Structure 1
């Protein structure tokens, strides 16, 4: 599995990262462990989780299950030094019940997030390290940008976390480009660690005009990343809940509200054609297309729930896209 630079840190990370979001809840422990071992055997080393994973699969879940499972696996195998480990704080949910019984909207969830206050992050990283059974993570994200807390407070706490050796690098997720620039400017002004990674939703479909792109890569962020190679994009939800393989699934699917329209239709048509020519699935082709990105180069973060889904994604990393087909995919659209 190919590795790429993480910003200008000097570290190399797997271009295909493994998300552990559902490990320990929707995916049981033996299956999760098998998937972790299979990913490492395939040459992967970049594992991503968060303290709030995953409160939503059932009423007995509160968050922390994924980190706890990873901690047990690391303690049993002694493989901590073999992986680049990332986790996140700020989106721990105070009380999941209002979200489970409500509309599940972004606004409903945001009202329950603990946020990125200094004391909150200091407690969160200590709790994450305890569950993970390690003295540090390699990358620590602000999971959801918190505008109710002064950035100076958040960055100051993150600087303390890095200085204490509890995290090697910091990142930001679900953040607008103008806020990311403000974060970086404040970090430079005060001599604090700046983000080396930004984690956003990114796929083959492009957000439609007027879409709320807080959590989705848009043209502005792409341009910003091209101009700032010290910042690496980690692209989550690359296959958008698996909608590419199944027209019936994407018809009316909630994820399509940000993408549906003439441009999506045109790109889906070309994607389907090229997938048939290569005898691969559209989902696999999307992952391969992302792995072929060089402007900017990025990490593709997969979140398989089953071993079969993991195998499908790993196979995508072996697909070689001829220049003509890559150009057709790149230029497709309304």
Structure 2
């Protein structure tokens, strides 16, 4: 698996990151272990989790993913680059659960009202809790999971910098953040000599959303900003949009498609199908290969072993220039 530099840190990580959100809940521990082992054997080392994963699963409260990773990484912590997050832990679990509707839609405004935020006390407490669950003495990359506008950035950045200076965190990042806020965060950090974000994590895939601009999805402004700031890497979650590139029936039934449905996506899906047929690959594999050619660090989040097996060939799938052009010009 290809290695890429994280920002301009001198730290190289596998370009495909393993999203561990469902590990310990909907992905049981034996399956989690099998997926992790296969990913490591393929040359992967960049693991992504969060302190809130996965509170929405039956019987879960958050922290389950970190806990199972802590067990699975015993004796081999030095083989991985470990990312986790803070600020979206749930303070009112019944209210957060009530905001998730049976049809798959979510009242995100209601969920966000239950988030713990990114105040200094939360960061200090939750970093220690994550370290305990993960069974480690340091976090390689610590994200603010959801940008917290109610807390002064100076407070958040100072608290994160204190963790870096104490050796408990190596690098910091931000997730689900607007471009103007990211610029302000970076400027404040550099002006004060604080740790500055080396990664931004947002949703990004080959298809382009048709809905309203939201901070959780990489829009043209953020992509342009990133092209001028190579010290910040783009880590793309939902890189395969839950696997919609291959299954038309599933695509039409899943809520995520509502943000992408339209002529532009239909044209791009046709391009994916054409390239997939040329390569003898699946549409999902082609979509992942496209992100890799663009220098993005895509996250994959396989829930089952079958999911992992279907994605893994993309780690080394060659996408020739002429087929890249087909995708880019759709």
Q: Same fold (TM over 0.5)?
A: yes
Listed as ranges, the gaps of 5+ residues in structure 1 are none
Partner residue in 2 for 1:311: 309
Note if 1:278 corresponds to 2:279. Answer: yes
Deviations 1:208-230 (A, max 9, x none): 2x523311111111111110110
Partner residue in 2 for 1:242: 243
Partner residue in 2 for 1:22: 22
Of residues 179, 192, 202, the one that matches 2:181 is 179
Of residues 95, 99, 122, the one that matches 2:96 is 99
Give me the whole-angstrom Cα distance separating, in 1, the residues matched to 2:250 and 2:33.
Answer: 29
Give me the whole-angstrom Cα distance separating, in 2, the residues matched to 1:327 and 1:66.
Answer: 39
Partner residue in 2 for 1:192: 194
Partner residue in 1 for 2:13: 13
1:100 shift after superposition: 2.2
Partner residue in 1 for 2:171: 169
- The residue matched to 1:243 in structure 2 has which SS? coil
Mean Cα deviation higher: 299-308 or 247-256: 247-256
Give me the whole-angstrom Cα distance separating, in 2, the residues matched to 1:252 and 1:308.
Answer: 20
Contact 2:213-2:219 at 8 Å conserved across structures: no
1:95 shift after superposition: 2.3
Query: Equivalent residues in 2 for 1:192-231 (5 A)?
Result: 192-208=194-210, 211-231=212-232
Give me the whole-angstrom Cα distance separating, in 1, the residues matched to 2:285 and 2:214.
Answer: 24
Give me the whole-angstrom Cα distance separating, in 2, the residues matched to 1:202 and 1:318.
Answer: 20
Deviations 1:9-28 (A, max 9, x none): 10001001101100000011
- The residue matched to 2:206 in structure 1 has which SS? coil
Partner residue in 1 for 2:71: 72
Partner residue in 1 for 2:82: 85
Partner residue in 1 for 2:323: 325
1:256 shift after superposition: 2.0
Give me the whole-angstrom Cα distance separating, in 2, the residues matched to 1:32 and 1:95.
Answer: 28
Of residues 124, 132, 150, the one that matches 2:152 is 150
Give me the whole-angstrom Cα distance separating, in 2, the residues matched to 1:73 and 1:274.
Answer: 37
Give me the whole-angstrom Cα distance separating, in 1, the residues matched to 2:271 and 2:93.
Answer: 41
Partner residue in 2 for 1:32: 32
Contact 2:244-2:251 at 8 Å conserved across structures: yes
- The residue matched to 1:168 in structure 2 has which SS? strand
Note if 1:301 corresponds to 2:299. Answer: yes
Query: Equivalent residues in 2 for 1:49-64 (5 A)?
Result: 49-58=49-58, 60-64=59-63
TM-score, length-scaled by structure 1: 0.95
Partner residue in 2 for 1:132: 134
Contact 1:212-1:258 at 8 Å conserved across structures: no
1:252 shift after superposition: 4.8
Give me the whole-angstrom Cα distance separating, in 1, the residues matched to 2:304 and 2:20.
Answer: 11
Listed as ranges, the gaps of 5+ residues in structure 2 are none
Deviations 1:253-286 (A, max 9, x none): 3212322222111111111122122221111110
Contact 2:90-2:96 at 8 Å conserved across structures: no
Mean Cα deviation higher: 139-148 or 94-103: 94-103
1:50 shift after superposition: 0.3
1:250 shift after superposition: 1.7
Contact 1:207-1:213 at 8 Å conserved across structures: no
Deviations 1:108-131 (A, max 9, x none): 110110010110111010000010
Contact 2:288-2:298 at 8 Å conserved across structures: yes
Mean Cα deviation higher: 88-97 or 61-70: 88-97
